[in-house]
C-alpha cells in the first residue's frame, strides 16, 4: 500500500523532502517504543555495527533509490530493485550464514520472473532510461540485500525492535547535512487533511511497523528466505493501485502474481 501512498504524496512533496520527514519521525516513534517496551542499552561494538547498518540501509540506500527514480523509469527501478533476493542469497552464502542451494536459486529465479511479468504487464522489456538511473537502481538493490544480510549477527543477540530502532536512528542522523538543501516545511503546511493522513500511514505502517516485521522475519527464518518475500511487494502494489486509485489490472499481472506466490510456496518448503 505504501507505493500507492507515496505516489499520492509525491504530487505535493519533493522526493528527498519526503524521505527526510518519514525517517526522522519514524526514528522518533521507534525510539519511544523501544524506551517504553524494550531495553535501550547496547554494547558500544554493536552500536558501531548498527551505525554501519544505518549508513547502508537508510542513508545511502534511500538516496540511491530516490535518484534512481529521478533518472530512469519507475518500471526499470521496480524490476532492478527486485534482484535483491539474488544478491541476498549470494551474500548470505559468502558470509556463511546460510547455504545457497539449488532449490533456493529456483525460488529466486521463479519469483523474479513473476515480478518481471507483473511490472512489464507481459511485454517482457525494460523501458528506455538513463544509464545513471539504472546503475543507481542496481546499487540500491545490492545495498538492500547487504543491509538485510548484515543484520543477522545482531539479531542473534538483540531484539528486532532494538536493531530496527538503532539502525533507523543512525541512518537518519546522517541525513541531517541534507536538511538545509532539501527540507521545505512549506510543502507540509500546504498538505490537506487527507495528505496528512496518508503521510502518517507511510510513517507508522511503512516504516515503523514494516521495518520491525522485516527484521523479525530475518530473525525467525533467516535473511535469504526473508528477502524472497520482497517479490510479493509488486503483487500487492498492483492490487491496491487497482483497488484505491483505479489503475488498470492486466491479466498478465495476475499470471505474474500466481508465479510469485508459487515461488514463495517453494521458499517455505525449502
Q: How confident is the model at residue 25 (pLDDT cuts 50, 70, 90)?
A: very high
Domain count, the chain: 1
Q: How far apart are CA 120 and CA 261, in angstroms?
A: 18
Weakest mean pLDDT among 38-42, 77-81, 140-144: 77-81
Q: What is the pLDDT of residue 134?
A: 78
Q: How confident is the model at residue 52 (pLDDT cuts 50, 70, 90)?
A: very high
Render pLDDT for 106-136 as a digit per residue (tens, 0 to 9).
Answer: 777 887 887 778 777 777 666 666 778 778 8
Q: What is the pLDDT of residue 89?
A: 75
Render pLDDT for 211-270 as a digit per residue (tens, 0 to 9).
Answer: 899 888 888 888 878 888 888 877 887 888 788 877 777 888 788 888 888 887 877 766
Distance of CA 14 to the CA centre of its chain: 19
Dihedral of the alpha carbons of 169, 173, 179, 185, in degrees to the nearest 10? 30
Exposure of 113 by Cβ count < 10 A (0-12 exposed, 13-18 middle, 19+ buried)? Answer: middle
Q: What is the pLDDT of residue 268?
A: 72
Render pLDDT for 71-91 as a digit per residue (tens, 0 to 9).
Answer: 776 666 777 777 787 777 777
Q: What is the pLDDT of residue 101?
A: 67
Q: What number is the average pLDDT over the span 155-183?
A: 88
Mean pLDDT of the chain: 83
Q: Which residue has the higher pLDDT, 132 or 30?
A: 30
Closest CA to 47 of 168, 151, 166: 166
Domain that holds residue 57: 2-269
Q: What number is the average pLDDT over the span 142-169?
A: 89
> Does residue 31 carry a pLDDT above 90?
yes
Render pLDDT for 10-24 as a digit per residue (tens, 0 to 9).
Answer: 889 888 888 889 989
- Secondary structure (H, E, C), the chain: CHHHHHHHHCCCCCHHHHHHHHHHHHHHHHHHHHHHHCCCCCCHHHHHHHHHHHHHHHHHHHHHHHHHHHHCCHHHHHHHHCCHHHHHHHHHHHCCCCCCCHHHHHHHHHHHHHHHHHHHCCCCCCCCCCHHHHHHHHHHHHHHHHHHHHCHHHHCCCCHHHHHHHHHHHHHHCCHHHHHHHCCHHHHHCCCHHHHHHHHHHHHHHHHHHHHHHHHHHHHHCHHHHHHHHHHHHHHHHHHHHHHHCCCCCHHHHHHHHHHHHHHHHHHHC
Q: What number is the average pLDDT over the span 160-185?
A: 88
Render pLDDT for 174-227 as a digit per residue (tens, 0 to 9).
Answer: 888 888 888 888 999 999 999 999 999 999 998 899 989 988 888 888 887 888
Q: What is the pLDDT of residue 233?
A: 79
Q: What is the pLDDT of residue 8?
A: 85
Amino acid at each position: 500500500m505504501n507505493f500507492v501512498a507515496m505516489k499520492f504524496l509525491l504530487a505535493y512533496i519533493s522526493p528527498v523532502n519526503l524521505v527526510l520527514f518519514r525517517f526522522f519521525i519514524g526514528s522518533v516513534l521507534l525510539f519511544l517504543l523501544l524506551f517504553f517496551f524494550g531495553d535501550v542499552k547496547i554494547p558500544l561494538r554493536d552500536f558501531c555495527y548498527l551505525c554501519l547498518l544505518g549508513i547502508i540501509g537508510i542513508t545511502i540506500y534511500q538516496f540511491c533509490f530516490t535518484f534512481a527514480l529521478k533518472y530512469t523509469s519507475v518500471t526499470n527501478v521496480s524490476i532492478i530493485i527486485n534482484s535483491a533476493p539474488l544478491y541476498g542469497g549470494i551474500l548470505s552464502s559468502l558470509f556463511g550464514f546460510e547455504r545457497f542451494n539449488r532449490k533456493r536459486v529456483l525460488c529466486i529465479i521463479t519469483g523474479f520472473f513473476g515480478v518481471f511479468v507483473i511490472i512489464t504487464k507481459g511485454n517482457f522489456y525494460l523501458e528506455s532510461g538513463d544509464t545513471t538511473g539504472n546503475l543507481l537502481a542496481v546499487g540500491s538493490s545490492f545495498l538492500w540485500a547487504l543491509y538485510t544480510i548484515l543484520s543477522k549477527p545482531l539479531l542473534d543477540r538483540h531484539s528486532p525492535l532494538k536493531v530496527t530502532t538503532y539502525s533507523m536512528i543512525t541512518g537518519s542522523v546522517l541525513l541531517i547535512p541534507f536538511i538545509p538543501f532539501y527540507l521545505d516545511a512549506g510543502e507540509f503546511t500546504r498538505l490537506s487533511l487527507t495528505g496528512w493522513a496518508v503521510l502518517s500511514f507511510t510513517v507508522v505502517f511503512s516504516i515503523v511497523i514494516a521495518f520491525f516485521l522485516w527484521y523479525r522475519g530475518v530473525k525467525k527464518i533467516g535473511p535469504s528466505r526473508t528477502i524472497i518475500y520482497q517479490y510479493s511487494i509488486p503483487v500487492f502494489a498492483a492490487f491496491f493501485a487497482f483497488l484505491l486509485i483505479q489503475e488498470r489490472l492486466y491479466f498478465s499481472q495476475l499470471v505474474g502474481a500466481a508465479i510469485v506466490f508459487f515461488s514463495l510456496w517453494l521458499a517455505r518448503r525449502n
